Chain A
Amino acid sequence: MELQAVLMAAGGGSRMTDLTYNTPKPMLPVGNKPLMWYPLNLLERVGFEEVIVITTKEVQKMMSTDPKMKQEVKMKLDVVCIQEDGDMGTADALRYIQQKIKTDVLVVSCDLISDVALHEVVDLFRAHNATLAMLMSKAHEFTETVPGQKGKKKTAEQRDFVGVDQSGKRLLFMANEADLEDGLSVRKSILRKHPRMHIKTGLVDAHLYCLKKAVVDFLTENKSISSIRGELVPLLVRKQFSKTLSKQKMKDDSEDQTQKKNDELLISSRDESLLQLAQERSCWNDHHGDMSEAYHGGKLRCYVHIMDQGLCYRVNTLAAYIEANRLVSQLLSLRCSCMSLFFSFTINIAMNVQLKCLCSIQGSVICSNAVIGRGADLKYCLVGSGQRIEPEGEKRQNKQAEIKLGSEISVLNFFSIQ
């Protein structure tokens, strides 16, 4: 078996508490499908047959009752439940299922909505025998503002500085703005090996990682690492250029401990000597201009695939959620038709929706069991399940609406009557 897929669906959704206080994040409806359906669909399309899903008991219950999950997901889902207290990071979760991991692992986050060609990421992982391969995307500015947040947008989350080499594939440097107190410092050894480094800040990390099995074993030894994105990835990127890895001598006793740990990361495959021989005889080098061999003799390599075009969203904020809803209909190319109603742009209507006459719906997503009252004029709205939109007497027209999910019947904004 080549790769095992692991879906991290135990996250809390701490940045969108408006929506997640009632529904856990993986089950939030986006375009009438639960949020975790999207990464599962991506994995299924590409050819995976089994996925290990790490989630909470509540989500597992909801999954088993949701008809969409049962019908449309054909893969075998191996659900592992963990405590909901929120202390477990993604790396902790990987450590928890270490027994199930038999081969290299592909970790996906439940809030990723993307149409990336996964083979681009996995090919980097395969061809260069990399320890880590991840996916990033150029960030798109969100076009519509979040309702309820008038005025200036909140300050962006702390930026990530990502350094890649000339080809744009090899990951050389990764740090979050929060960790850089005095400024960005790059080690001379890195610059000596890769004199041209491109540092990018406007990238969105898709939280999709291909990790070697040796990394999972490394995690079991180092119990202090708790988050993949926050700690493990920067550690691996730094370790590429660590001196102890390129040399293979073990002198000090004090260095013994760290050496052992490092060696674990480099668990070599059988017939390593043959691979060495093939690489020696091959006339290929990944860089030109200095006297070192391919990969500078380094055994640990981290690669990144940066998407220019295509969809890649992480639904972890309110703005992202709204944007995702709008774009999801493009992704799924769903259309709807109805009489005596005006429709334009792509809209997404679920089952059991009652539409009274003289409605005008534009670019919206309407979840199941909703009732749209007479004469409603919806533009780019998201109507939750079980909501009712009653025509009020006001003449104000608003372009956006955001409806709280759940069983409340409340209307946040007003609509014009036709």
Chain B
Amino acid sequence: FLLISASLFSVTKQTEGKELTKEEKQRLRKEKKQQKKNKEKKDEKASQGSEKEKKSGSLAAAAPQPPAKSTTVKTPSAVPAPAPVSVPSSLEAPAPVDKPSKTKAELKAERRARQEAERASKPGKKGEPGQQAASGKQKAPPSELQPVIKRLPEHIQVDNPDVLKKLAKKLERQQIPLRLDYGYKVSLFSHLHQYSRKAPLTQQLSIPSTVIHPAVVRLGLQYSQGIVAGSNARSVALLHAFKQVIRDYITPPNEELSRDLVNKLKPYISFLNQCRPLSASMGNAIKYVKKEISNISSQCKEEEAKSKLLNCIEWYIKEKIILAAKAIAESSIEKINNEDVILVYGCSSLVNHILFEAFEKGRKFRVIVVDSRPRLEGREALRRLVQRGISCTYVLISAVSYILPEVSKVFLGAHALLANGYVMSRVGTSQIALVARAFNVPVLVCCETYKFCERVQTDSFVSNELDDPDDLMVTRNGKTQLESWQEVPSLGLLNLVYDVTPPDFVDLVITELGMIPCTSVPVVLRVKNVDQ
């Protein structure tokens, strides 16, 4: 193994791919032999295997996604490197090919040496969860002893033609049209979808839509045109559409509601995903609805089952969104003192709600609204705050370091909170958090628990959303400078939607369960899973 790996360093990426496949085949053969030996010792291995997984879990769990991604960014057809490269090298992905390959190769050699040593010391062990994780992407795990394989989600592998083919086949099966990508994508983000608002998905659907429920078509249109925007609004609108679907649903004969309704919802979810990638909050809501549907007993009559489901959805909205907002507002009011100067960014429904409540309770404070192009959501936040009577200042994000000396606290909203404590929010949030940290201004993030997500991300490149690049064009005095941007070969327009803020910049997260530090998010997730 060491000899083979040594020869890999001097080889280009292409042949490296071929070598690896041969190597993989050898490894798989060895594993099959080991499997036959290990059938008696299953229990021991299971416990030991899980231990191993926990050890390298922090490495492998975080790592396979970013490093695998960084290699696929360069060579789409190459086999993802099995070595879980540490985080710094994944950040070097944009750098020229030679430098990262050297550091990766060195790390690969080290790791292989380590694993070889482990393998030699414990002959019956399948001690390569990291490498296994990578090869698992190519082949399904051969036995149950394999630890949980993390697969790359499809929506961040757009530059891989096989994945695109699979997606096209799946959509064809569900009778949903495929939305084509638009325009030149900046190479760093070529693994993400980029759609144009002027080419809606309804172009390819029949007009009285029969395949997809009309409420879902309306919702998809509203998502893609930005009429329903914001994490909470999107979830509420989604649950509203699901309520219509459940009301109009009739169980076909010889089918069970619990199974058939879930199958009915799958094409709708694919359709909504094509209109606009699903948010973390929407994902959690969908999981909840699917769980409730499958928990319906077969004894239940249809009417009863449907009313039960409708009540469940209403309960979810009431508890997770409305009451949570109330609870968060109550705890945040303790943090808002008189004569405070609060900085908010963009238009977060939760932060606005907190400020309204605080103002009603009589706190005297003023607000600085920071806004950024191209969305200019801050204008809407400004309008809502001023309408209530709160005195506001409005700046663009380029002036944030100018205005920060006046600020006493920063309140930020979140799109999702990731399992490693990172905050995913509108692009620009991490900048604000960084500058606030530099000025020693406390940063408070407000987030309901239903937005907590089990994904792990350390950078904004791997998983993000690309909005319509034509939004960046602006017409001033009748002239649009970027009108013919597609004809300039060296120009790419990038309209990112989200970015990720590290937990070091966030001082407190206010949830309905209380005020927790950013690093306690995995605890909350674990507690939630135990509850359910």
- Nearest chain B CB to A274 CB, angstrom units: 4
Residue from A118, A128, A279, A283 with most neighbouring chain B CB atoms (10 Å): A283
Task: Chain A residues near B210: list those with CB within 8 A.
Answer: 47, 49
Q: Which of A48, A127, A279, A288 contacts B225 (CB 8 A)?
A: A127
Q: B378: nearest residue on chain A (CB-CB)?
A: A283
Q: Count how many chain B residues have C-beta atoms less than 8 Å from C-beta atoms of the other chain.
A: 42
The reply to whether the CB of B226 lies closer than 8 angstroms to some CB of chain A is yes
Interface hits, B177-207 → A, CB 8 Å = 200, 202-203, 205-207
Interface string of A117-144 (1 = CB under 8 A from B): 1110011001111000000000000000
Give CA–CA (A4, B208) in the complex, Å: 8
Chain A residues in 8 Å Cβ range of B237? 274-275, 278, 282
Within 8 A of A (CB), among B344-358: 346-347, 349
Residues of B within 8 A of A (CB): 200, 202-203, 205-210, 214, 217-218, 221-222, 225-230, 232-234, 236-237, 239-240, 243-244, 247, 317, 322, 346-347, 349, 377, 379-381, 383, 386-387
Query: Would A123 and B229 count as touching, CB distance under 8 A?
Result: no
A46: interface (CB < 8 Å): yes
Query: Is B239's CB under 8 angstroms from A274's CB?
Result: yes
Partner of B209, one of A2, A277, A280: A2
CB-defined contacts of B232 to chain A, threshold 8 Å: 281
Partner of B208, one of A1, A123, A127, A288: A1
Residues of A within 8 A of B228 (CB): 278-279, 282, 284
CB neighbours (8 Å) of B346 from chain A are: 283
Question: A265-317: which have CB < 8 Å to B?
Answer: 270-271, 274-275, 277-285, 288, 291
Chain A residue numbers with a CB within 8 Å of B236 are: 274, 277-278, 281
Q: Contact: B383 with A46, CB < 8 Å?
A: no
CA distance A9 to B347 in the complex (A): 51
Q: Are A2 and B208 in contact (CB under 8 A)?
A: yes
Within 8 A of B (CB), among A252-275: 270-271, 274-275
A225 contacts which chain B residues (CB < 8 A)? Answer: none
Closest CB in chain B relative to A402 CB, distance in Å: 37
Which of these, B200, B317, B380, contacts A284 with CB under 8 Å? B380
Contacting residue for A127 out of B222, B229, B379, CB 8 A: B222
Across the interface, B349 reaches (CB within 8 A) one of A5, A117, A281, A285, namely A281
- Closest chain B residue to A121 by CB distance? B207
Spell out A's residues near B (CB within 8 Å). Answer: 1-5, 46-49, 106, 117-119, 122-123, 126-129, 270-271, 274-275, 277-285, 288, 291
> With a CB–CB cut-off of 8 A, which chain B residues contact A271?
240, 243-244
Q: Quick check: B207 and A48 within 8 Å, CB to CB?
A: yes
Do the beta carbons of B218 and A126 come within 8 Å of each other?
yes
A290 closest partner in B (C-beta): B383
| Chain A residues, CB < 8 A from B202 | 119, 122-123, 126
Report 10 cross-chain contacts, Cβ distance below 8 Å, ordered by A residue. A2-B217, A46-B207, A47-B205, A47-B210, A106-B207, A123-B202, A127-B221, A277-B322, A283-B229, A283-B377
Nearest CB of B to A287, in Å: 11
A274, B208: Cβ atoms closer than 8 Å:
no
Known: A1-B208, A274-B237. 13 other contacts (CB 8 A): A2-B208, A2-B209, A2-B214, A47-B206, A48-B208, A118-B207, A119-B207, A127-B227, A270-B247, A275-B237, A281-B349, A282-B227, A282-B233
Residue from the set B236, B244, B247 with the largest chain A CB neighbour count within 10 Å = B236
Q: A275-B240, A278-B228 are in contact. Are A3 and B217 (CB under 8 A)?
A: no
Inter-subunit contact A283/B230 (CB<8 Å): yes
Q: How far is the CA of A285 from the CA of B226 in the complex (A)?
A: 10
Closest to A117 in B: B203
A298 to B222 CA separation, bound complex (whole angstroms): 18
In the complex, the answer to whether B207 meets A128 with C-beta atoms within 8 Å is no
Contact indicator A3/B230 (Cβ below 8 Å): no
Residue contact B240 to A278, C-beta cutoff 8 Å: yes
Which residues from chain A contact B349 at a C-beta distance below 8 Å?
280-283
Could you say which of A119, A279, A282, A284 contacts B203, with CB atoms under 8 Å apart? A119
Chain B residues closer than 8 Å to A4, beta-carbon distance: 208
Q: Which of A4, A128, A281 lies at the interface centre, i.e. has the most chain B CB atoms within 10 A of its CB?
A: A281
**B residues in contact with A284, CB < 8 Å:** 226-229, 380
Out of B203, B243, B377, B381, name the residue touching A274 (CB < 8 Å): B243
Contact B380 A3 (CB under 8 A): no
Q: Are A3 and B383 in contact (CB under 8 A)?
A: no
When distances are taken between beta carbons in the complex, the residues of chain B under 8 Å from A281 are 230, 232-233, 236, 349
Q: Which residue of B lies closest to A272 (CB)?
A: B240
Task: Tell me the nearest residue of chain A to B218, going by C-beta.
Answer: A126
Give the docked Cα–Cα distance between A47 and B204 (Å): 10
Q: Which of B228, B346, B349, B386 has the most CB of A within 10 A?
A: B228
CB distance from B275 to the nearest CB of A (A): 11
Report A206 CB to chain B, min CB distance, Å: 16
Contact of A3 among B200, B207, B379 (CB under 8 A): B207
Give the docked Cα–Cα distance between A48 and B222 (Å). Answer: 23
Residues of B within 8 A of A47 (CB): 205-208, 210
Alpha-carbon separation in the docked complex, A289 to B32 (Å): 69
Min CB distance B446 to A, Å, is 14
CA distance A123 to B226 in the complex (A): 13
A274 and B316 alpha carbons, distance in the complex (Å):
12
Closest 4 CB pairs of A and B: A47-B206, A283-B347, A282-B233, A2-B214
Q: Which of A122, A277, A279, A285 contacts B383 (CB 8 A)?
A: A285
A127 CA / B349 CA spacing, docked (Å): 21
Name the residue of chain B whose CB is nearest to the CB of A210: B207
| A283 and B380 contact, Cβ closer than 8 Å, known pairs A46-B207, A119-B200, A126-B218 | yes
A284 to B375, CA, bound (A): 10
B380 x A285 contact (CB < 8 A): yes
Shortest beta-carbon distance, A256 to chain B, in Å?
32
* Complex Cα gap A47–B177 (Å): 14
Task: List residues of chain A with CB within 8 A of the CB of B217.
Answer: 2, 126
The 8 Å CB contact of B317, one of A1, A274, A280, is A274
Task: Check B221 against A291 for contact (C-beta < 8 Å).
Answer: no
CB of A297 to closest CB in B, whole Å = 12
Checking B203, B230, B347, B387 against A291 with a beta-carbon cut-off of 8 angstroms, the contacting residue is B387
Q: Which residues of B contact A117 (CB under 8 A)?
A: 203
Contacts of B209 in A (CB 8 A): 2
Q: Which residue of A lies closest to B383 (CB)?
A: A291
